[in-house]
Amino acid sequence: MQFDWHYALGLLWNEDFWRAVLTVVELSVETWLLGIVFGFLLALGRQSTRRWLRDLSGAYIWFFRSLPLLVLLIFVYNLPQIFPSTSHLLSNPYGAGLIAMVISETAYIAEIHRGGLLAVAKGQLEAGKALGIGYRGVQWLIVIPQALRVALPTLANEYITIVKLTSLVSVISLSEILLVGQQLYTQNFLVMETMLAVAFYYVLIVTVFSYLLRRLENYLDVSRRVPRVVVVGELPAKLEGRPVDSGKSTFALQVRGARKRYGELEVLKGIDLDVRWGEVVSIIGPSGSGKTTLIRTLNGLETLDQGEVTLCGAPFLRGAREPDGPLSSKVHMQGIVQVGMVFQGFNLFPHKTVLENVMLAPRHHGHDDLDLRQFSLGLLNKVGMLDHAGKYPHQLSGGQQQRVAIARALAMRPAVMLFDEPTSALDPELVGDVLAVIEELAREGMTMVIVTHEMNFAFRLSDRVVFMESGRIVQAGPPRELLEQRSERMGRFLKDVQLA
């Protein structure tokens, strides 16, 4: 049997084939996009803290990944026989095929999204929460852009799979590429020539969309981006902080009876701490003493088991095991905007420029864009990062990233600043720049609580030093008094520390 090349090449201009190509493109793109949206919601449900939602999402994924698409297509298409009211939608092969494919693909895409969500560092979510951004805002502004960038190569591969799966829709008589080919070769029996044309059209669709998706992947790849040009303009002469009515309370921050347990290990054992307005309090102590846990409970990144935190004279946090239970999330989120947090690991948002990092939270909270931009540029100038406003975090050194993190925290005009080991992740030669920024804030009267291993810095800068061990405050007081009346345990801790 001789291969009919003339007939095979003629099929490349066949109108029925090109109409079928358009159908396949529409069906595959709609399935992919809807699968991405529903799959993301399903992935969030799979990671929910609510067990019923987690189990329900898991059951959906298990069932529809187990069910062959061919079976699902036939079932959905014939559903009007049981529920006649669905006939206006499901009796149409395209509608039935789209619904069946979306139901099936959502289960697969949800697992792809879950991989992307797991790749987003926990610190990114904590940074968003510390800036007072709610759950939806964190997902939309921080998580989705990063998770999508991670998942996109696999999502692109899944789109190619969807294109090929559209051939199964021929069983419910949708006029897609394979069905058009079958109709042709049943008329002329030129099977090989017709199937060569079918293969060409599928390869053409996959090739075009692979190229487009690769371009999208490159666009979302932050590491390929060059620094943006930022027009500075006239900076504000003075950066005004949040107006605080300190007359309501002598203390900016108060902690009473704070207790925190991880399983059998009690990390905080009844901590009491008062921080006055404009005071700098440094918390020191050996590793494992509970310093970081304490500072993370001050803004709710770690929940308290018992005790309470008062911020600016108003209730802010309460332990879950207190008689009245924890305070509402609304109370917490209203207060958290008054607490700036600088993390040990920077936790800048990698998909945002330096300026966008600083502006993100205030913009989310509805601050005026024009004034906010100049205020943010002023903050970057304050921390010595104005020349880097258009860069991305990966283009900065560790010290530069930490200074941007300080500016980002200050952008919310907080009443209190918390620093969790702000220099421990830095090379020794970069520490000085960050400490200089913190010293400047201290001179301006910013209320600060600092967890640090920089002893010289702590005793030179602080109004009060708190020494912790084994979840308790062992000794606290002004630096000079603390050194002159140091306990035996604190003396051993400081024996190898050279204090100026």
- Co-location of 330 and 420 in the same domain: yes
- Co-location of 77 and 146 in the same domain: yes
Nearest to 103 by CA among 127, 128, 77, 140: 77
Domain at 172, CATH number: 1.10.3720.10
pLDDT given at position 370: 67
Tokens linked to 117: 């969500």
- Co-location of 257 and 142 in the same domain: no
pLDDT given at position 246: 58
Q: Is residue 272 within a helix (H) or strand (E), and if so which, with residue range?
A: strand 265-276
Q: Do residues 120 and 143 touch, judged by C-beta distance below 8 A? A: yes
- Co-location of 320 and 469 in the same domain: yes
Residue 240 lies in a domain: no
pLDDT given at position 498: 58
93/166 Cα distance (integer angstroms): 12
- Co-location of 423 and 294 in the same domain: yes
Domain span including residue 427 = 250-338+414-493
What are the CA-CA distances from residue 409 to residues 76, 309, 414, 460 (Å)?
Answer: 53, 20, 8, 24
What are the CA-CA distances from residue 224 to residues 143, 219, 267, 283 (Å)?
Answer: 20, 8, 43, 41
What are the CA-CA distances from residue 119 to residues 33, 35, 114, 134 (Å)?
Answer: 21, 20, 9, 20
Dihedral-angle region of residue 471 (phi above 0 means left; psi in -120 to 50 means alpha; beta otherwise): left
Q: Do residues 258 and 281 touch, judged by C-beta distance below 8 A? A: no
139/134 Cα distance (integer angstroms): 9
Residue 350 lies in a domain: no
- Co-location of 208 and 275 in the same domain: no
Residue 453 lies in a domain: yes
Distance from chain centroid for Cα 291: 25
- Co-location of 195 and 290 in the same domain: no
97/173 Cα distance (integer angstroms): 10
The label of the residue with tokens 């009211």 reads: 85
Nearest to 239 by CA among 439, 419, 407: 407
Residue 244 lies in a domain: no
pLDDT given at position 240: 67
- Co-location of 186 and 63 in the same domain: yes
- Co-location of 93 and 145 in the same domain: yes
Domain at 311, CATH number: 3.40.50.300
Beta bridge partners of 467: 284, 475
- pTM, to two decimals: 0.89
Residue 371 lies in a domain: no
Per-residue pLDDT tens listing for the chain (500 residues): 688 888 889 888 899 899 999 999 999 999 999 999 999 999 999 999 899 999 999 999 999 999 999 999 999 999 988 888 888 888 889 999 999 999 999 999 999 999 999 999 999 999 999 999 999 999 999 999 999 999 999 999 999 999 999 999 988 888 889 888 888 888 888 889 889 999 999 999 999 999 999 999 999 898 888 898 888 887 876 776 666 655 667 899 999 999 999 989 999 999 999 999 999 999 999 988 999 999 999 999 999 999 999 999 899 999 999 999 999 988 989 899 999 999 999 999 999 999 999 999 999 998 776 688 999 999 999 999 999 999 999 999 999 999 999 999 999 999 999 999 998 878 877 888 899 999 999 999 999 999 998 888 899 899 999 999 999 999 999 998 888 887 788 888 887 565 55
404/384 Cα distance (integer angstroms): 9
- Co-location of 188 and 312 in the same domain: no
Residue 364 lies in a domain: no
Residue 374 lies in a domain: no
- Residue 237 burial class via C-beta count within 10 angstroms: exposed 0-12, middle 13-18, buried 19 and up: exposed
- Co-location of 147 and 294 in the same domain: no
- Co-location of 81 and 44 in the same domain: yes
Residue 153 lies in a domain: yes
Q: How many domains does the chain have?
A: 2
221/153 Cα distance (integer angstroms): 11
